[in-house]
Structure 1
């Protein structure tokens, strides 16, 4: 299988970008698995977070909140894939959105049926609401990604400083002049447009040659980290880069200026690591095979990782008692150790979901059907089918 993947990979394939995207998806999955707790009390499940009871875990959110890196790579790939010919844009966009929303429809359909079944079986309404929130809340990310993808020809040439300025002014009005809370939702498209535009500029060569990309990476890493530190220490922004239950302000929902500057630091690190990762992928065939096949199923992994966690949690209830790290309150280091021990079980459940649903991500071709193949789409999909 490793040899098939290597043989099917085009010589000019940017393996470093694929490695960065795989790392971003891994960060999102591990982040959700480590900071999402379902506590069993009185026959019902309710959500909790170890970050609200153990603030010393805040650095976990710095490592595993990697959405900015994913938007960076998405902007890079979209700017290359959309092409310069307007006639290519329509077919390219339809193919991209179809691949995006086919698996989403499957998740929504399955959970609609599951919710009806749970309620008919007497499950507490609050429990069902908690489960649906955990499964469906990450879908906002895909809606933003779809909108930015559709607007790629318009935003690909936009300088990242313009949406960054919008985020700064929204936060100034919200927090400095007690503006209405709804203004913060302007930052949802504006905040993620910053790394998306940066990725598009990277793809179009506006960051310069390899040395220019490295210089940009250093500037973003140092400047973004320094700006975030000042915003947290002086500006009163939360230190956690994910939402914490009970906190007055969330850096992520909607994105704040601190989340965006932190994301720029992450993007700088991604630019610095891109070259070494690309070389590592070319030297180590097994490592590249794992990254390549993982990228082909990135959306499947993203959509089903919370379902995997919930499936393990539900099966654990059959034990008749609350299992540590699975149904207990995240109120101490013991919970963290127990949750780490559950990660292989979550991974196994996710593998089952992947086996059942990963083909939906790419669709099935039928005779007489014309399939739009993107100009930059890798031949790796063939390797995945043969494997």
Structure 2
């Protein structure tokens, strides 16, 4: 068969067939009297063999080595192809993410595109200081790159850079969709970073919904970030998780303070006190846990906590009783009645002889 017919049957252009011939990949068996290339059936089979290997991603040089080396083993080549393909796909996924990040900023000109590309390059720097500086240096233009910064939050391990990124994302008011996706990640570290970032976005639409979902997370750190943020915003749904933090000893001081703020609502105060009392009475509560719960009662508004502490001052656990008695003294010293009594006693001594 002449080259034109082979090209028609194989789907390989005449130009590529000549290239194969020049490289020695597929040389036609013969020539016509006029000097035209003439391919045998075996030559055509070899062309299809070359095309099959090309479809796997092999270069023409690799194909030539595979066809000519008697010791060639396909298994090793296939393993290499898998590795190369995985690397290529990773690079293409990274490129796709970069393009999406640029598209999300809706740039109006090439200068905007170049600024985003430069920020992406700096955020990929191995230097934590350079990454942090990249965020802070663009503090006046964070809204244009909120989605990009939100994605960076999810992967940033350095605490200082992560703090700068959370600040920038909160300031932008955007990136909630990216953080919400991170809050559903199977990677617990990504979920922690996502929820912590959303916790700082008090006014962002949808942020509270994400935090409420995070209260049911299997990870206590994720639940803690969500509970503290929601509690500071006055959400009663955070109460069980906050009480759980006191029980577990995870940021228990912060959790107790937030419970105290929530208890300023009389309806919530009874609920919070009841939850703390239930945990104090739990058969699984050890002395350390009961002491933390006792200390949390100090933060509660009103007199309910004081009444419980007076009762605990006679607790069978002497450590709990001592802590409760000391806290009763502190709270009674703070009360208006106690201060008025102290002032009266002090005034009486000034009118008469000093008491000894």
Structure label with greater radius of gyration: 2
Q: Give the TM-score band, short-chain normalised.
A: under 0.3
The normalised TM-score by structure 1 is 0.19
The normalised TM-score by structure 2 is 0.21
Higher relative contact order structure (alpha carbons within 8 Å, sequence separation ≥ 6): 1
